[in-house]
Structures are given as structure tokens and as C-alpha cells.
Amino acid sequence: MLPPARVWTLLVAALPVGGLAVGAPPVDIASSPVSPTAMAAPESSAISRAAPNPPWGFVGHEMAARAAAAVLPAEMPTFFRDAGAQLVHLNPEPDRWRVWEQREMDQAFAYDHYIDLENIPAGALDAPDRFVFLRMLYEAGIERPERDAGFLPFRIVELYQRIVSGWRRWRVEGDPERRSWIEQRIVNDAGILGHYVTDASQPHHTTIHFNGWDADTPNPEGYTRDDEFHARFERYFVEAHVTDDDVGRYTRTGRPPSVAGSVREAVIGHIMAAHEEVETLYRLDRDAGFDPEAPADPGARDFAAARIAAGADMLAALWWSAWLESAEDIGRDGAGR
């Protein structure tokens, strides 16, 4: 059975892109447009080919990770601060798992890249974990909740907690070899976390209007219904017009703030801030355009750079906070005592 329409879009977005996203490499999911017809024939479709450089487009994702790694406090262990290049490489990794022929893997992670806030019942985001959340969506009558809602905030918090757990074990491990293995685990989890945090800064990853204005929703302002908008913005526009220096103008300077102890609230706030920019994104596309082949409108370029920077700022805060939080209650997670 073929994946639903949204999965097509997500798969496509996972193809090489360079993007804003701080939703695909900078914007996570800068995907190349492939029609459902083409997708029905994997042997001939673009999605069936290896995609070493996924979609934020991968360029945007990498920009966000690079900016986050650049502001890590000196108090963090050296091995982590020295892992900047690896953290950048890992940021687009979840898009590399979008492989049509490997359905089990593809479907296991396809719905972690977004949250369609318009479809979320009141109170559902207060669920303590993704499974209670899923049950609440079913009880609200949402027939395909994994597809029609998404799990983005839960994925971010889950990975954050894994990093805290890793740091706790690292702090008390006395064997040098075992400690080096824990270090590898921490860097890998931190790099993967970066993907979803940057996805969450891309407005398309927070809304039912994820690839053109939803066809079943009133559109009095005449926003585009172009089903290539996601990739055009997140990948192609970012690759053509946004630089690390552009992103740097919008990233926070100095030590990242700590959100230890209030990570869920911080993650929801990060997603909500991106969601508030959905209509700004569509208005800019209508009035200025995100054309990768034309000179960039300054407002459009600055918007993309600011969204990538928002992902970088949140990512740096989460990396730093996980280290700080791990100093508390060292006895947990099998970490000693």
C-alpha cells in the first residue's frame, strides 16, 4: 500500500536539498518534488535513488548545526566541543532514513518530522509521552493520527532525555574505554536531535499548510497552493541565497540559556514560535517570492536566515541544558550508586 499524501511529501523532502529548515537541512525538508504517480513506480522514481544529501534541505540543517556548535560553552567536555564537524554531518541524518524500498525504517520515523498544530485537540500536547498522545488523538476521532498530527515535540524531548541519560553515565564511568563508547553515543544522539530541532524552526513543519495552502481550508489572502513550495523555500531558495554569515546575523551571541527542568515547555514554545510565522512565510512567497533562480528579495532571505538561526539557538540551548541537567540525580539511568 502506498504511503499517504503527506508521507509522499516528506519522502520527497528528504531528497537532497539545502534548506532553511532548521526541518530538513536548514529547513528540514527541502525535498525535490516528485509526483505520486512517479512514486508509484519506485524503480523509476527519484525517491528510489540513494539520497546522500537529503532535504530544511541538508544545507540549511548543516548551517543550523554549525551555528549551534560554534557557541558551545567552554565548560562542556572537550570531546563534545571538538565534535562540531560530526554534529553538522549528523543533522540531516534522519532524512537519509527516508528510503521508499525500506518501508519499515521509513514508516517508523516518517511522522517525527512535523506536528500539524491545527489538528491537535486541546490538551493533547500535555500528554506525558507519544503513546498517551496517540491515544488522545484516537479518542478525539482522528482516524490517522500519526499522519494527521505528527510527533515532532515528542521526538525532540525523547532524544534530549537520551542525551541527559548518556551524560549521567559518562560522569560516573571510570573505565576509559567504556567512557569513550558513551561519548560516541552522546555525539550521535546530539547530532540526530539537531535535525528535529531545526525542522521545528521551519514553519512548514508545524502546520497542515506544509506544502502549499491546504486545499480544504479557506484561502482569502490568495496564498499559493503550489505543492513544490516546501522544497522551493527550504531547499532551493536556501541553497541559492542564504549563507552562514546571513544566519550568523540572527543567532544569539554568548552562552546559550539553560532550559534544564523545563525542556518540554521550551520545545513547545520553539514550535509555537515557528507556527506563528506560517502566514508570514506564505505572505512573503506571495508578495516577494522565494525564487532560487532570481535575485533574492532581502526580506525573504532574512526570513529564511532567521528561521535557521532560531533552530540553531534552540539546539545550542538543548545541548547545553542536557549537560547541566545531567549533573543532577547522578544515581539515575544505571549511572552509579
Averaged pLDDT for residues 235-255: 97
With a cut of 70, say whether residue 334 has pLDDT above it.
no
d(CA 265, CA 43): 44
Q: Which residue has the higher pLDDT, 229 or 12?
A: 229
Average pLDDT, the chain: 85
- Among left, alpha and beta (phi > 0; psi -120 to 50; other), residue 334 is left
* Confidence (pLDDT) at 57: 78
d(CA 195, CA 182): 21
**85-94 per-position pLDDT tens digit:** 999 999 999 9
CATH number at residue 251: 1.10.575
Q: Which residue has the higher pLDDT, 263 or 9?
A: 263
* Confidence (pLDDT) at 3: 35
* Confidence (pLDDT) at 328: 86
State the pLDDT confidence band at 330, using cuts at 50, 70 and 90: low
In a domain, 182, yes or no: yes
The answer to whether the CB of 308 falls within 8 A of the CB of 198 is: yes
In a domain, 138, yes or no: no
pLDDT > 70 in the chain, percent: 81
Provide the domain count of the chain: 1
In a domain, 132, yes or no: no
In a domain, 228, yes or no: yes
In a domain, 302, yes or no: yes
CB under 8 Å to 239, separation ≥6 — which residues? 17, 18, 19, 30, 57, 59, 292
The answer to whether the CB of 17 falls within 8 A of the CB of 25 is: yes
First-residue to last-residue Cα distance in the chain: 50
Please compute, for residue 242, the number of CA atoms within 13 A of its CA located in the half-sphere on the CB side: 43
In a domain, 26, yes or no: yes
In a domain, 226, yes or no: yes
* Confidence (pLDDT) at 32: 32
CB under 8 Å to 326, separation ≥6 — which residues? 164, 165, 166, 167, 168, 170, 171
With a cut of 70, say whether residue 269 has pLDDT above it.
yes
In a domain, 260, yes or no: yes
With a cut of 90, say whether residue 176 has pLDDT above it.
yes
Which domain range does residue 285 map to? 5-115+150-325
* Confidence (pLDDT) at 159: 98
Amino acid at 155: R
